[in-house]
Amino acid sequence: MIEPRPQLGSPKMGQLLSPREAMLRALVIARKGAGFVSPNPMVGCVIVDREHRFLVEGWHTKVGSNHAEIEALERLMALKGSREALEGCHVYVTLEPCAHEGRTPSCAKTLAPLQPASVTFPFHDPNPLVAGKGAEILRTAGIRAVPLTDAHVWPALPHESIDPLVKQELIDWAEDVAEIFLWNARQRELPFVTVKVASTLDGKVALRSGESQWITGDLAREKGHRLRLEHDAILVGRRTVETDNPSLNVRLKNITGVENSVVIIDPRAKLLPTLKDRRLSQVRPTTKVFVCVQSGCFDVDVVSRAHDEGFQVFDVGGSEPGIIDLREALIKIRTLGLMGLYVEGGAGTVGPFLDGELAQRLHVFMSTGVLGGREATGWSDLCGVGTLAQMWKLKRQHVNVLDGDIHITGRLQV
């Protein structure tokens, strides 16, 4: 798999970029919108000149503000003094340019009269308002608007080797970058669920005492915070809040102003009476804290007080007391406008997501330390399969080394 090449830093003005490098750069910068663009996708755009030399780049920075193509176009205007400088250039964008007017004007209609030579994107936007229509607007204006899924040739440089595997890797990576958006555009019932665990080499996430901080190093934890940013809410089980008293916020250099939501599974409302004193309630408005309880299993006065304190408590059914219907919980979470859910444990919470096949992506951050023993908790202790043939296997996986920790991620479902 193509790794997210951090070494592909901002290209210098005039630097020759192959089409592959231009698309890779667009994919790298797309992620800069994390935390600010939901429910829109993270999108990046790179513009190169007729000879494929780098001119400008842009990304979708905030919901309601410029799309990536327009952001790049404005930078081109600032550089060259006019939008007309786009004529004959090549545009690389990580999603089909939009056809419709929403909070912002149509990107396809803005680009069409400016006559770039080509607009390359990985695949059509599944949104029915756009699907194929953005490309059609551009083609009608005589522009080569080529999704990588269809293209048999790269639109420009003859010396670029045409390797279908490279194209497929770019398509896969673009799907990963936009996965929460794509999932929600294709089905409207359940949010996209990512499960993340930080474990030792032998798969342990906590000692018997509950001690678990910290298993991995700074770089792995920083990556974990970046992933928090890409999701609308973090979900944890009651015991993680009781044991760790976490803030569950985004703590990254140069990123401020993100107030992510938290969902806690607390079937019998045991945590609820003290929730306002926990760190996670102190670092965000209580209206951003959602608590899932089980119908018939909680004290109504406790829930009513929590509502008064601003917490958003919702109840779901379950097969027996203490076993909630997780699918029903996810349906409610989706209706609350939370489209991407980042499940951070512990094992009692992760297990039902895996057993219920309700998670789409898994991230494991694994240190090279070993805790051993039967009593330390393993992240998959409370879930599992019956036969080897049923083994859960990651698809489209990436493996990275982060300062001595190993980061493995992939899709549980594609």
- Report the residue closest to ligand NAP, judged by CB: 346
CB of 230 to ligand NAP, least distance (A): 17
Question: Is residue 234 near ligand NAP by the rule CB under 6 A?
Answer: no
Question: Is residue 237 near ligand NAP by the rule CB under 6 A?
Answer: yes
CB of 187 to ligand NAP, least distance (A): 21
74 an active-site residue? Answer: no
- 76 or 292: whose CB is closer to ligand NAP? 292
Q: Can you tell me the distance from the alpha carbon of 219 to that of 394, in angstroms, rounded to the nearest whole number?
A: 23
Q: Which of 69, 71, 96, 179 is catalytic?
A: 69
Residue with tokens 């080797």: 161
Q: Can you tell me the distance from the alpha carbon of 61 to that of 44, in angstroms, rounded to the nearest whole number?
A: 9
Question: Is residue 322 near ligand NAP by the rule CB under 6 A?
Answer: yes
From 273, 313, 321, select the one nearest 296 (Cα to Cα). 321
Whether residue 314 contacts residue 290, with contact meaning beta carbons closer than 8 Å, is answered with yes
Question: Is residue 111 near ligand NAP by the rule CB under 6 A?
Answer: no
Q: Can you tell me the distance from the alpha carbon of 351 to that of 362, in angstroms, rounded to the nearest whole number?
A: 12
Q: In the sheet that 144-147 helps form, which strands lie side by side, from edge to edge?
A: 54-59, 44-48, 90-93, 118-121, 144-147
Question: Is residue 210 near ligand NAP by the rule CB under 6 A?
Answer: yes
270: DSSP letter: S
CB of 353 to ligand NAP, least distance (A): 8
Find the helix or strand (DSSP H, E) in which 364 lies. strand 361-366
Quick one: tokens of 33? 């919108």
CB of 309 to ligand NAP, least distance (A): 19
Residues 182-201 contacting ligand NAP, CB under 6 A: 197-198
Question: Is residue 323 near ligand NAP by the rule CB under 6 A?
Answer: yes
Quick one: tokens of 406? 């190993």
Among 58, 97, 267, 410, binds ligand NAP (CB under 6 A): 267
How many C-beta atoms lie closer than 10 Å to residue 161's C-beta? Answer: 8
CB of 347 to ligand NAP, least distance (A): 4
Count of residues in contact with ligand NAP, rule CB under 6 A: 30
- 54 or 342: whose CB is closer to ligand NAP? 342
Q: Can you tell me the distance from the alpha carbon of 394 to that of 413, in angstroms, rounded to the nearest whole number?
A: 8
Contact residues for ligand NAP, defined by CB under 6 A: 197-198, 205-206, 210, 212, 215, 236-240, 243-244, 265-268, 270, 322-324, 326, 344-349, 352
Write out the catalytic residue numbers.
Answer: 69
